[in-house]
Amino acid sequence: MSDLEKRVEELEKKVREIQEKISKEGNVKNNVLSESSLTEKIGLTKEEIEKTFHFSGNDFHLIANIDENREEDKLINTALAIITVNYRITENTKISSSILKNKLKSCGVPLNNMTTHIKNNRKFILPSGKPGSHNFEYEITTYGIKRGVEIIKKLAAATA
């Protein structure tokens, strides 16, 4: 295979990856984010959801404060709450690392040692893809979803 053929193959692969990413993002954007869809999936009232998350158009933000003494616990629990809601809305277990980082920053969670903290908690969250690439994602595990629901319920109870 010539260098030109190899380069064409590489470019075709990148085009497919970009098309997949656009398709995923399109699916997320087409979902109507609502408190009512979460009430059934998480088991909270609309009021409890509204005290915990803010919904704006096709986006959501965690507004309840996760109070943890250890930086690692705060990062992991906040990430689990965010990824769980994202999963319950989009039915996609993966979230882009850049989206997760932005949501964590907006919650005031320090991102120091984020990769290490997540690696230490692989039973909840798994890294997916090549670190540093724009395709890098985090995937929530079944156990992570269960823990995320517990965290969200605890947050809702604390804000009542």
Beta-bridge partners for 62:
53
CATH classification code of 34-159 = 1.10.10
Give the pLDDT confidence of 71-111 residue by residue, as tens digits.
999 999 999 999 999 998 888 899 999 999 999 999 999 99
Task: Name the E strands within 58-141.
Answer: 59-62, 94-96, 125-128, 137-140
Residues in the chain: 160
| Mean pLDDT value of segment 24-39 | 54
Round to whole Å and give the CA distance between 92 and 146. Answer: 15
